[in-house]
Chain A
Amino acid sequence: MQQQIVTQKPTLEALKRVCAQDQPAPHGHISMGTEELDQAVGGGLARGALHDLYTPHTTSLAAMAGFACGILQRSGKLEPKPSLWVRQHMASFEVGRLHAPGFTQLGPVLDTLVLVNTRTVADLLAAGLEAARCAALGTVVLELWNRAGELDLTITRRLALAAEQSGVTVLMLQVAVQPLPSAALTRWQVSPAPSRPMAANAPGHPSFDLTLLRNRAGKTGQRWRVEWQHETGQFQSIPSSSRTALSGRLVSLSGSRPVGSPDGKASSYQQADYAQALARTG
């Protein structure tokens, strides 16, 4: 493909064409409900593909699960198909089990959700692969916990291929691990963000700080703060102006703090990983 570019004079148009061939989204996109996010990843999260979600802190897993749940809802809205959530057994003890009442309050997908608990990472990946091949499913969420020795480029590649063939969207949630090179189309870092308060300074809707760490359809590194609106069933981005305006009223709010890196570690992780991933996958 590189040769082709060289012989045909590498104009920007040609390059774009080649990229477009390389990045087909044969199964369409899952719109997130907010323009900015959709545009950044070429019209929404590609269906029938593997996407990584990543968070450096264990306590942020709930936020990441919430974000994944939002994507499930968006995907379910597009086409009502059952989804599968695969967890490791020990996650229930570490961060609590998936709580159905909380899940239903985020949206209606729970009725068709199947939960799979596995003991080992190998079982989890095998179950994920089996599910990714089942075209009757809409979305498969794999919650990968801690050290994932079995996870390598091969298995993610397999997952991505299976997803591409069946049209199942696979979300891989990684907690507290340095993300490894993977065949995922996009990778998001998800952290909980201070919400916009309700009346009487009550915590507001689920809010997330997102950083796009990897993106095969465009540039990376953008950051957003979004909020999940369960009533309309869409993500809504919170403009930074409203953040400061709101946080001004509040006493001990650190909402204007740099996003996603309370200690600065996360961002150096990301950069190192991204460079590594680029080098490996080319």
Chain B
Amino acid sequence: MRLVALSREAVAQNLEHGLTLADARARVPNLVAMERDMVADADWLERLADFCDRYTPLVALDEEDGLIMDITGCAHLFGGEAALRDDLTQRLTHAGMSLVSALAGTPDAARALARFGGGAIVTAGEEPDAVAPLSVDALDMGHETARALSRAGLATIGDLAARPRAPLAARFGQALPAKLARLLGEEDISITPRRPLPPCTVERRFGEPIGREEDVMATLAHLMGEAGTMLEARGEGGRAFELSLFRTDGAVRRLRVETSLALRQAGPIVRLFQDRIDTLADPLDPGFGYDLIRLAVLVSAPFEQPQVSLDGHQAALADIAALIDRLTTRLGREAVLRFVASDTHIPERAVYMVPAKDYEDARKAQGDDAEEKSWPAPLPGDPPSRPIHLFEHPQPIEAVAEIPDGPPLKFRWRRVLHEVARAEGPERIAPEWWQQDTPLPTRDYYRVEDADGRRFWLFREGLYQRETNQPSWFVHGVFA
């Protein structure tokens, strides 16, 4: 077991990173050591990244203990780059953390300065001078490369930068000069943010944190008004919205609502968020208040201007969509469903359910196929051939039949004996042998009616003497 992280006091005792625990205990007998909790560390870093969202929407995780933020165009909101860094440092120090930070024109340069140079602010174009004194470890190309470079007498980035690149590439591979170019600010790459950049974001900052729900909702209404104007300018509406509540102590709460039509009016969205808040399993806890509230439009779509038709059909459709959105927000995506036909004869798989709000999208995705996929229709003059209630998993019954491959005479289901008065069948549904390696047995379906008039859909699994000698019976559905 080795030491991976040390407190200030431990460093003062001359302990160091990578020391074995036994050695450390020998040096400092009353050492307090705790096992490393990687999951908790990762979770904490995520929460820090959430906190950093207040500075810029582009935040990326860097290894296990670092964050990279792209503050292009954000610094002026905080009074400049230095002020932004000071604000961040101050807040995190208040939270009991120690941090090293650096600002530079490219993410690689900033990272190298923070990790190997102790932090700095470097304006764009100054990177070559700033990174020159760093050791070649800052290239982050692995121990082998670092050692080989030191042996060649190239101890710092400055030494490397002065050399022609082609021989370096020949000796250490293409990656090294590329990395070097990024460090020196010659080449810029954009970071991969952990959350995709939303198409439209509006936010409100408060000098004095707010905590009352009414204030939050009023702010939301204002923000939605602004977002609506932005969307209107683009001819778009939002399909998914996210409200981020930044607490003064750094905790961030995010709420999300989705709509089935593209919307940009404040009213319905605010109502959806209200529903969302009302049905939260763990209610909002404002703590000492929120000092930043941000509304992001996560998904935008072309806004279809509702046409005023004479029969009010469009308005009715919008009403239904709004109802579905509200129910979905309150009960969850998987609770509000519509039926779509699926291309199979196996009854339990003949239908798949899609969330009602995605129904139109699903239909569009299916395209012309949708026409072909349909459910079996009864013959003219015949009663329905499919039950109105179907069990996901057929329920086993005990049945008695006159002959092994005939309809049942009586059966026992859920401990109740049903005498069969009428029966029709079999309707044979063969398994889809092209789908599975070991096909299921063939099913012979019977429509039966018992003496009380209850109508059931039973099947016998397995063809007698061909697939099995002991066919088992199941009830699969109940007719109206």
Contacts and interface: CB of A to CB of B under 8 A. Distances in A.
Same complex origin of A and B: yes
B377 interface: yes
B451 interface: yes
Nearest to B316: A136
Contacts of A63: 453-454, 480
Give the interface centre of B317, B353, B416 by most chain A CB atoms within 10 Å: B353
A59 B454 contact: yes
A61 B455 CA distance: 11
A34 to B, nearest CB: 17
B480 A253 contact: no
Contacts of B384: 102, 105-106, 206, 230
Contact of A98 (B327, B388, B453): B388
Nearest to A205: B383
Given A101-B375, A137-B320, A206 B338 contact: no
A134 B347 CA distance: 34
Interface string A96-121: 11111111111000100111111000
A127 B351 CA distance: 24
A265 B416 CA distance: 18
A97 to B, nearest CB: 6
Contacts of A200: 424
Contacts of B448: 203
B149 to A, nearest CB: 63
A195 interface: yes
Nearest to B319: A136
Nearest to A116: B336
B196 interface: no
Contact of A104 (B347, B375, B390, B423): B375
B480 A206 contact: yes
Given A113-B338, A130-B327, A231 B392 contact: no
A255 B392 CA distance: 31
A62 B386 CA distance: 12
Given A81-B316, A198-B382, A203-B455, A114 B421 contact: no
Interface string A226-269: 00101100000000000000000010111100000010000000
Given A194-B421, A203-B449, A102 B387 contact: yes
B239 interface: no
Contacts of A67: 480
A61 B479 CA distance: 10
A113 B455 CA distance: 24
Given A101-B351, A102-B479, A207-B453, A65 B335 contact: no
A135 B319 contact: yes
**Chain A, interface size: which category?**
35 or more
A198 B423 CA distance: 10
A248 B15 CA distance: 100
A44 interface: no
B452 to A, nearest CB: 6
Nearest to B449: A203
A98 B389 contact: yes
B453 A65 contact: no
Contacts of A105: 375, 377-378, 384-386
Interface in A180-207: 191-195, 197-198, 200-207
Interface in B292-313: none
Contacts of A203: 383, 422-424, 447-449, 455, 479
B422 A101 contact: no
A60 interface: yes
B478 interface: yes
Interface in B180-205: none
Nearest to B381: A231
B380 interface: yes
Given A136-B317, A203-B447, A192 B454 contact: yes
Contacts of B452: 192, 194, 254, 262
B250 interface: no
Contact of A100 (B334, B339, B385, B480): B339
Contacts of A198: 382-383, 424
Contact of A250 (B316, B317, B381, B421): B421
B376 interface: yes
B350 interface: yes
Contacts of A15: none
A96 B480 CA distance: 13
A113 B338 CA distance: 7
Given A96-B477, A231-B380, A61 B389 contact: yes
A19 interface: no
A134 B315 CA distance: 12
A127 B347 CA distance: 29
B47 to A, nearest CB: 30
A101 B427 CA distance: 15
Interface in A45-99: 59-63, 65-67, 69, 81-82, 84, 92-93, 95-99
B341 interface: yes
A123 interface: yes
B175 interface: no
B257 to A, nearest CB: 16
Interface in B364-401: 375-378, 380-392
Contacts of B335: 116-118
A231 B381 CA distance: 8
A96 B319 contact: no
A116 B422 contact: no
A66 B454 contact: no
Nearest to B350: A101
Interface string B329-365: 0110011111101000001001101001000000000
Interface of A: 59-63, 65-67, 69, 81-82, 84, 92-93, 95-106, 110, 113-118, 123, 126-127, 130-131, 134-137, 191-195, 197-198, 200-207, 209, 228, 230-231, 250, 252-255, 262
Nearest 10 pairs of A and B residues by beta carbon? A66-B480, A202-B424, A101-B375, A105-B384, A99-B390, A96-B389, A62-B478, A136-B319, A136-B316, A100-B339
Given A63-B480, A66-B388, 14 more contacts: A61-B478, A99-B386, A100-B339, A102-B388, A102-B477, A105-B385, A116-B331, A192-B452, A192-B480, A194-B449, A195-B383, A197-B422, A202-B424, A262-B452
Interface of B: 315-317, 319-320, 323-324, 326-327, 330-331, 334-339, 341, 347, 350-351, 353, 356, 375-378, 380-392, 416, 419, 421-424, 447-449, 451-455, 477-480
